[in-house]
Structure 1
Amino acid sequence: MPLSSAGANGLGPVAPPLRRCRPCGDNGARFDPEPRLNPVPSATLPTAAALRLGHAGLLPFVLGAALVWLVRPDAHPYVTAALSAYAAVIVSFLGGIHWGFAMRQADAPGSLAGWGVVPSLVAWVAVVMPPYAGLIVLGAMLVACYLVDRRVYPAQGAAAWLTLRFRLTAVASLSCFIGAAGS
């Protein structure tokens, strides 16, 4: 909540009054309307929307891997570039999740943000490689991200997401390997 521009006497800014804590009942407790960093809450199971979006995100992987084998030779470079670019974006996204974990905590270990950068850098290198090699690197990086996440997610209250992550990783990495084999 912003500070008011002038106090009751018109001399300067005044902080808003603290409000009663509704979730705790009217027991006299008060809370700051501008929350501080909170401890990591426990995550719930992925929502139906998250499941649908996660599975929809596999379409470019599966379609790209299939098209590598089906398109005319003159279209082949475009398909492999598209599959590589999409895989690189997803690998970068997986690293970004660790930045999100780190940002939620005042005392987050540096390894969270540090690992968060690694997938993006590896994906960037993989995109400029020839597709037969770059797609292997991206598929391996998807697996590496999952293996790291198996260790990190439980400590961050996100263990319930690992089943979905496993399924998505299996299809996405396999698609990269199939695409690499066809390039």
Structure 2
Amino acid sequence: MQPKRALPTVMWWLGYGGLVPFFALTVALLLGMDVPLLESVRLDWWLAAYAALILSFLGAVHWGVALGMQDTLNESELGKLLLFSVVPSVLAWFALLLPIQWALFVLAGLVVFAYVVDALLLFDKLSSSYGKMRLHLTVIVALLLVAAGVAVQ
């Protein structure tokens, strides 16, 4: 088995850059601020929608790994990856049907759940740097979503 390459720099930039909306929206909610030109927008729902999109992306990583490794995976591994490729988006969509405070809390839990599943199904197939980056991003996003959930009480 060949050693896994380190993640390209652009992945680090995009991964951590994806935190900007989480930080900006959570800080605005915590401070009760309006965003210029968006005064009539529900920032809490924007944050929840962004979190749901990110969860869909995290599921899609499983689909990509399944496609890229389909010749080397057994049927059970392939089935688990494909199943979990759609689970985060479906659960996140259901979370968006909840009252906003609960939606933010559930989305925080789903982000952690996605990390746990990735640790079980993906991390051994990918660069160890990916698992490290995901751990950092998961902790930060989950904490920001919980803080936002507290802010919208």
Report the TM-score range of the alignment, normalised by the length of the smaller protein. Answer: 0.7 to 0.9
Residues 95 and 49 of structure 1, relative CA distance in 2, 3 Å threshold: same
| AA of the residue aligned to 2:147 | I
| AA of the residue aligned to 1:147 | V
Residue segments in structure 2 that go unaligned for 5+ positions in a row:
none
Aligned CA-pair RMSD: 2.2
Q: Say whether 1:94 aligns with 2:58.
A: yes
Q: CA deviation at 1:158?
A: 3.3
Q: Say whether 1:127 aligns with 2:96.
A: yes
TM-score scaled by structure 1?
Answer: 0.71
Q: Give the distance between the partners of 1:141 and 1:125, measured in 2 at CA.
A: 11
Q: CA deviation at 1:159?
A: 2.9
Q: What is the number of residues matched between the two proteins?
A: 144
Corresponding residue to 1:161 among 107, 130, 134 = 130
Identity %: 30
Aligned to 2:113: 144
TM-score scaled by structure 2?
Answer: 0.84
Q: CA deviation at 1:180?
A: 0.5
Residue segments in structure 1 that go unaligned for 5+ positions in a row:
1-39
The structure with more helix, counted as a fraction of residues: 2
Q: Considering only CA atoms, is the larger Rg found in Structure 1 or Structure 2?
A: 1
Corresponding residue to 2:43 among 73, 79, 83 = 79
Q: Give the distance between the partners of 1:76 and 1:132, measured in 2 at CA.
A: 19
Q: Which consecutive segments of 4 or more residues in structure 1 shift more than 4 A?
A: none
| AA of the residue aligned to 2:66 | A
Aligned to 1:8: none
Secondary structure in 1 aligned to 2:122? helix
Q: Give the distance between the partners of 2:144 and 2:44, measured in 1 at CA.
A: 11
| AA of the residue aligned to 2:11 | A
What do the CA deviations read for 1:121-179 (whole angstroms, capped 9, x no partner)? Answer: 11101112111000111110110111111122233233331111111111111111011
Aligned to 1:30: none
Aligned to 1:31: none
